[in-house]
């Protein structure tokens, strides 16, 4: 492609609303332009990247048993009401009225549509297993569209759905998709991890998130550098010291293990007027949050429960809900707190709490002389110690992991990292097949619900996540696999016929060899061309200048390393195609 015959509007300035590298570079490199919040136009270079990623996805999906379909974005709300997601998705679901005053929704995902389709077309176990996928635009009214195409309201997703006769079948289909995903992300050049994700409400179901590591990622993951364990922050388990110590005595109800050289202090009540948060109490009493106990009163299906965790930790309500086996979990209202503790909100503590179920996080056992609420307005207690001042009967994993927590697999310290979710695989079971009547007849003629899995990948997000991971001060650094072109040919002076002649010759030769080349035939200064070539990030640059052409040679520069080779004009195509 000739630069002058396409549209690559590169920019020198950083766009005002762009906060992250990928957004800045995609705009500056002429890949995308913003239309409105959460909606972007893809210019020729941007579209070529998307098409490359899609081609890799198609190859891997097809070779792992997927069959491509294309489902409508416009969908009837009735389907969504049948699965309960019309309300469940809330404002994320974009709805509109057509001219006949009939409501439509724009598909944010396609479980409902595909399940209804398969319900109508597949009747027999002989037609299963079946994995269908599509690459299509999704619509979500995201509360906070941001970071360019990383989180937009309109984006391209590859979504796949598997239908099986039984759980073994689902496991096989799931495994194939898992392998396809690993192949896709590796081929796209992403530095990624497959992590165990929160199985959500339907406890026991398996789910994996594919995470591209990045400082700007909105997802938090726990990674063990020693054994390779990786889980989302939501799912990462906290090892019960009881289990790891083979049922040690420490958790029988009370003990205190103080820091080295610290002794058990006498409990005392201190006045803390109108001081309720961990931060304020900590400041007033000069105590770090890890020496404080937060006592949170919850209502689990209407029964009060007190939850004890350290001041620097956070309750994971999904874990707590699973632990308590309740449907509805919410923080208790002021009246319940008063009834249960005798004190107001913000002053709860474990000392003297009676008649209420109490669950504590393991970390409470690991230190002493805590600050807690005194269950009395404007008072806290200092030097509270487990065993002496209160006891715990229920130890539970009810909080989010924190950096340096012991790994649930090998007990060595885990590390907390940030990541961008680029894909998600999920064993669904029969939730959708039951709701939408996707049943098959087994070999005895009995009707059974199909067992489903679903698998999503964000196409645009792969491009942006890749750029987050692979850039330098000059621009993007593409791998050959998803770069818009393999080579950019740069004649340093378009006014010199000899230089342009050689550049034309190389361009024609590469094109004939099906090597994707972009020919910078603009009448621009060499400096501008070099800067733009680095900015758009194509992996190889062929520089044609009068420094070398009289010897019949040109320069081939590798964008990633900056390495330059002087190459015979006739050999450019072989050198460029041999490069990785």
- Cα–Cα distance, 117 to 115 (Å, whole number): 5
Task: Pick the closer one to Mg ion by CB: 206 or 326.
Answer: 206
- 22: partner contacted, choices Mg ion, ligand ATP, none (Cβ within 5-8 A by kind): none
Place of tokens 């020919």: 519
Stretch 440-479: interaction string toward ligand ATP, x if CB under 6 A: ----------------xxx-xx------------------
- Cα–Cα distance, 358 to 198 (Å, whole number): 24
CB of 421 to Mg ion, least distance (A): 5
CA distances (Å), origin 309, targets 98, 344, 362, 368, 401: 52, 19, 8, 13, 12
- Cα–Cα distance, 365 to 240 (Å, whole number): 11
- 152: partner contacted, choices Mg ion, ligand ATP, none (Cβ within 5-8 A by kind): ligand ATP
Task: Pick the closer one to ligand ATP by CB: 24 or 490.
Answer: 24
Quick one: which of 566, 536, 573 has its CA closest to 11? 536
- Contact with ligand ATP (CB under 6 A) among 20, 157, 407, 510: 157
Helix, strand, coil percent content, the chain, rounded in steps of 5 = 30, 30, 40
Stretch 100-129: interaction string toward ligand ATP, x if CB under 6 A: ---------x--------------------
Stretch 383-422: interaction string toward Mg ion, x if CB under 5 A: ----------------------------------------
CB of 216 to Mg ion, least distance (A): 18
E-only strand ranges, 313-361: 329-331, 357-360
- Contact with Mg ion (CB under 5 A) among 52, 110, 424, 557: 424
Query: Which residues, 6+ apart, have CB-to-CB distance to 282 below 8 Å?
Result: 288, 289, 292, 311, 371
Task: Pick the closer one to ligand ATP by CB: 198 or 532.
Answer: 198
Q: Under the criterion CB under 6 A, does residue 140 sit at the interface with ligand ATP? A: yes
Give the range of 11-19, 151-159, 483-491, 518-526 binding ligand ATP by CB under 6 A: 151-159
Quick one: which of 410, 324, 360, 413 has its CA closest to 251? 360
Residue with the closest Cβ to Mg ion?
424
Tell me the backbone φ, ψ of residue 326, rounded to 5 degrees: -115, 160
Asked if 158 contacts 134 with a C-beta cutoff of 8 angstroms, the reply is yes
CB of 219 to Mg ion, least distance (A): 9
Paired tokens of 135: 């690459």
Stretch 408-447: interaction string toward ligand ATP, x if CB under 6 A: -------------xxxx-----------------------
- Cα–Cα distance, 19 to 26 (Å, whole number): 12
CB of 187 to ligand ATP, least distance (A): 16
* Count of residues that interact with ligand ATP, criterion CB under 6 A: 16
Paired tokens of 347: 């002053």
Degrees, nearest 5: CA angle 292-293-298: 150
CB of 235 to Mg ion, least distance (A): 12
Residue with the closest Cβ to ligand ATP?
458
Asked whether the CA dihedral 58, 60, 66, 71 is positive or negative, the reply is negative
- What number of residues does the chain have? 580
CB of 215 to Mg ion, least distance (A): 20
Give the range of 42-50, 176-184, 391-399, 423-431 binding Mg ion by CB under 5 A: 423-431
Task: Pick the closer one to ligand ATP by CB: 92 or 267.
Answer: 92
Task: Pick the closer one to ligand ATP by CB: 461 or 573.
Answer: 461
Q: Tell me the angle at which helices 44-63 and 167-187 cross, rounded to the nearest 10 degrees.
A: 140
Binding site residues, Mg ion, CB under 5 A: 424
Binding site residues, ligand ATP, CB under 6 A: 109, 140, 142, 151-152, 155, 157, 421-424, 456-458, 460-461
């Amino acid at each position: 492609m000739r630069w002058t015959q396409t549209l690559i509007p590169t920019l020198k300035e950083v766009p005002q609303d762009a906060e992250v590298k990928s957004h800045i570079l995609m705009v500056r490199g002429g890949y995308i332009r913003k239309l409105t919040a959460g909606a972007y136009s893809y210019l020729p270079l941007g579209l070529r990247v998307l098409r490359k990623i899609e081609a890799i996805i198609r190859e891997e999906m097809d070779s792992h048993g997927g069959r491509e379909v294309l489902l409508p974005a416009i969908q009837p709300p009735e389907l969504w009401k049948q699965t309960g997601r019309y309300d469940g998705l809330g404002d994320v679901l974009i709805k509109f009225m057509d001219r006949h005053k009939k409501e439509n929704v724009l598909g944010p995902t396609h479980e409902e549509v595909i399940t209804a389709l398969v319900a109508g077309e597949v009747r027999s176990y002989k037609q299963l297993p079946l994995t269908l996928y599509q690459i299509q635009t999704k619509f979500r009214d995201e509360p906070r569209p941001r970071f360019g195409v990383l989180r937009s309201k309109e984006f391209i997703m590859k979504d796949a759905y598997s239908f099986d006769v039984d759980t073994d079948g689902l496991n096989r289909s799931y495994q194939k998709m898992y392998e396809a995903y690993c192949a896709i992300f590796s081929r796209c050049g992403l530095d990624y991890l497959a992590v165990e994700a929160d199985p959500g409400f339907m406890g026991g179901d398996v789910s994996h998130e594919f995470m591209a590591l990045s400082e700007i990622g909105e997802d938090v993951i726990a990674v063990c550098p020693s054994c390779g364990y990786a889980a989302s922050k939501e799912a990462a388990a906290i090892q019960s010291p009881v289990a790891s110590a083979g049922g040690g005595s420490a958790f029988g109800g009370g003990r205190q293990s103080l820091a080295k050289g610290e002794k058990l202090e006498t409990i005392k009540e201190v006045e803390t007027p109108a001081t309720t948060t961990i931060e304020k109490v900590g400041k007033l009493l000069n105590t770090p949050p890890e020496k404080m106990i937060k006592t949170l009163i919850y209502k689990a299906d209407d029964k009060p429960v007190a939850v004890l965790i350290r001041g620097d930790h956070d309750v994971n309500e999904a874990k707590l809900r699973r632990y308590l086996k309740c449907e509805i979990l919410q923080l208790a209202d002021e009246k319940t707190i008063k009834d249960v503790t005798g004190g107001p909100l913000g002053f709860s503590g474990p000392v003297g709490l009676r008649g209420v179920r109490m669950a504590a996080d393991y970390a409470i056992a690991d230190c002493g002389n805590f600050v807690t609420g005194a269950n009395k307005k404007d008072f806290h207690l200092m030097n509270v110690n487990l065993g002496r001042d209160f006891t715990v009967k229920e130890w539970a994993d009810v909080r989010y992991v924190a950096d340096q927590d012991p790994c649930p697999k090998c007990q060595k310290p885990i590390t907390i990292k940030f990541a961008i979710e680029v894909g998600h695989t999920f064993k669904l079971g029969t939730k959708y097949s039951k709701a939408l009547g996707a049943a098959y007849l087994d070999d005895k003629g009995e009707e059974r619900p199909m067992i489903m899995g679903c698998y999503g990948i964000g196409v645009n997000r792969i491009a942006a996540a890749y750029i987050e991971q692979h850039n330098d001060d000059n621009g993007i650094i593409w791998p050959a696999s998803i770069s818009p072109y393999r080579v950019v040919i740069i004649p340093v002076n378009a006014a010199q016929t000899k230089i342009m002649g050689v550049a034309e010759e190389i361009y024609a030769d590469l094109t004939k060899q099906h090597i994707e080349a972009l020919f910078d035939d603009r009448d621009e200064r060499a400096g501008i061309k070099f800067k733009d070539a680095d900015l758009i990030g194509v992996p190889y640059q062929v520089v044609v200048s009068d420094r070398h052409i009289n010897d019949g040679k040109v320069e081939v520069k590798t964008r990633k390393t900056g390495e330059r080779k002087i190459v015979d004009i006739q050999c450019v195509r072989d050198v460029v195609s041999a490069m990785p």
